[in-house]
Structure 1
Amino acid sequence: MSLSASAVTLLGLVAWSLLLLFIMVNQRGLLVLGGRMKVNAFSADGSNTPSAFGQRLVRAHANSVENLPLYAAALLYAMVSGQTQLTDPLAPLLLGARLFQSLMHLISTSALFVWLRFAGFLVQMLILAWWLLRLAGLA
């Protein structure tokens, strides 16, 4: 069975969120096992993580998870309604933009990287808006 680009993208978005979660759990596990933090000391926003990377990782993961339902809904609708021909062409670009945004988030919070992160986010939002217009028959 061959998967459409939309299906591969949906799986990729979920896998990316899961990978970020595994990295975060690994980092926190090492801190706990190394005696550097207590298991119940982590703040939800990562603000008390010993490294700036840990804080950025928490935000990158949260951002991936909070946007996943938007992409998943559009992609699932396209798949269920047999309209993946509308989402397939831009699906890999959406996944690439999501990965790019997260990676920029993980690398730095300097102004340049915030602008790059925003560019990746903007690409995703424009693709999603285009898909919704096309799926609704308005474009």
Structure 2
Amino acid sequence: MTLTATALALLGLVAWTLLLVFLLVNQRGMLVLSGKMAVNTFNPDGSNTPSAFGQRLVRAHANCLENLPLQAALLLYAIATAQTAITEPLALVLLGARVFQSSMHLLSTGPLFVWLRFAGLFAQLAILAWWLLLFAGLVG
């Protein structure tokens, strides 16, 4: 069986989210093992971690989780209904935009990086909206 761009994008989105949670667990584990924080003191939003990166990591991971259901639903729909011809051209662009958005989030919250992060999110939303229109037969 050949791994299509649609299937690769789906697996890539899951893998990227998993990588971010591994980074988060590693960061928190190091803080606990080094005695810098107690295991039961982490705020869910990461606001009490010693570094701004910790807060950005929590938000980048949460943002992946927030968007994964929409992305996965359309990619799985394409696979389940044998309509991957719709998703193939942009599937890896969607994955790239997700990785780009998260990477910009991890790097900085400066204005340029926020704009770049928004561009990555906008690209993902535009692709999802386009696919939805195509699946519904409203365009194309």
SS in 2 for 1:57: helix
Quote the offset at 1:128 in angstroms.
Answer: 0.2
In structure 2, the partner of 1:99 is 99
Q: After TM superposition, where is structure 1 displaced by more than 4 Å over at least 4 residues in a row?
A: none
TM-score (norm 2): 0.99
**Where does structure 2 lack aligned partners over 5 or more consecutive residues?**
none
Describe how 1:37-76 pairs up with structure 2 within 5 A: 37-76=37-76
In structure 2, the partner of 1:109 is 109
Quote the offset at 1:36 in angstroms.
Answer: 0.2
SS in 1 for 2:82: coil
In structure 1, the partner of 2:135 is 135
Quote the offset at 1:4 in angstroms.
Answer: 1.2
* Superimposed CA distance per residue, residues 16-63 of structure 1 (whole angstroms, 9 cap, x where no aligned partner): 000000000000000000000000000000000100000000000000
In structure 1, the partner of 2:6 is 6
Quote the offset at 1:123 in angstroms.
Answer: 0.3
SS in 2 for 1:25: helix
* Superimposed CA distance per residue, residues 78-130 of structure 1 (whole angstroms, 9 cap, x where no aligned partner): 00000000001000000000000000000000000000000000000000000
TM-align CA RMSD: 0.4
**Where does structure 1 lack aligned partners over 5 or more consecutive residues?**
none
Corresponding pairs, count? 139
In structure 1, the partner of 2:85 is 85
Quote the offset at 1:3 in angstroms.
Answer: 1.4
Amino acid at match of 1:45: D
